[in-house]
Amino acid sequence: MKKFLLSAAILFIGAVTASADEDWDWPNYNYYADANAELLKNKPDDPRRVIFFGNSITEGWPIHRPEFFTENGFIGRGISGQTTYHFLLRFIEDVIKLKPAAVVICAAGNDVAENTCPYKEERSFNNIVGLIDMAQAHGIKVILTSVLPAAKFSWAPEITGSSDKIASMNVRLKEYADTHDIPYVDYYSSLVNGQPDRAFKAELSGDGVHPNAEGYKIMEKIVLPVIRKYVP
Cα 176 from chain centroid (whole Å): 16
Query: What is the per-residue pLDDT across 77-100, written as a single tens digit (0 to 9) for each?
Result: 999 999 999 999 999 999 999 999
Which residue from 230, 7, 2 is spatially nearest to 134, judged by alpha carbons?
7
Which residue from 118, 95, 119 is spatially nearest to 105, judged by alpha carbons?
95
Query: What is the per-residue pLDDT across 168-196, written as a single tens digit (0 to 9) for each?
Result: 999 999 999 999 999 999 999 999 999 99
Instruction: Name which residue leads in pLDDT, 2 or 209.
Output: 209
Query: Which domains are assigned to the chain?
Result: 2-20+28-230 (3.40.50.1110)
Cα 25 from chain centroid (whole Å): 19
Confidence of residue 20 (pLDDT cuts 50, 70, 90): very low
Residue 112 in contact with residue 165, Cβ under 8 Å? yes
Sign of the C-alpha dihedral, residues 50, 55, 58, 60? Answer: positive
CA distance 115 to 123: 14
Which residue from 46, 41, 146, 28 is spatially nearest to 94, judged by alpha carbons?
28
Confidence of residue 231 (pLDDT cuts 50, 70, 90): very high
Residue 155 in contact with residue 182, Cβ under 8 Å? no
pLDDT score recorded for residue 194: 96
Query: What is the per-residue pLDDT across 130-181, written as a single tens digit (0 to 9) for each?
Result: 999 999 999 999 999 999 999 999 999 999 999 999 999 999 999 999 999 9
pTM given for the model? 0.91
- % of residues, the chain, pLDDT over 90: 90
Residue 76 in contact with residue 68, Cβ under 8 Å? no
Go through the chain and tell me how many residues it has. 232
Mean pLDDT of 101-116: 98
Mean pLDDT of 4-29: 58
pLDDT score recorded for residue 6: 54
Radius of gyration (C-alpha) of the chain in whole angstroms: 17
